Amino acid sequence: MKLLVRNLARTTTEAELLAMFQAYGSVQYCTLVMDKETGASKGYGFVEMPKPGDAKAAMKNLNGKDIAGSKIRVKKAEPKPEAE
């Protein structure tokens, strides 16, 4: 299950994001979205967890949690709409 993680502190690293979610199960991949111009975090990222049960537990426990002074939001990532 692919999760969208928003409202991350700009200082949060990919390793920290990974560790947050690994507490709830195995993580297939995790990525922070970076600004192409500055190379700085845009404050959101994606985490893919192979087991839906683990992903739901992570979503339930991490959504609204205060991480580095920011209340993060975790929800199921919607597939990108197909370009027409």
The pLDDT tens digits of the residues spanning 18-57 come to 999 999 999 999 999 999 999 999 999 999 999 999 999 9
Q: What is the mean predicted confidence (pLDDT) over 68-82?
A: 89
Report the alpha-carbon angle 46-76-59, nearest 5: 85
* 10: Cβ contacts below 8 Å, ≥ 6 apart: 40, 41, 43
For the domain made up of 2-76, give the CATH fold.
Alpha-Beta Plaits (3.30.70)
Q: Are 22 and 55 in contact (CB under 8 A)?
A: no
**Structure tokens, 33:** 């979205």
Contact assessment for residue 30 and residue 4, using Cβ atoms and an 8 Å cutoff: no
- pLDDT score of 84 more than 70: no
pLDDT band at 78 (very low <50, low <70, confident <90, very high): confident
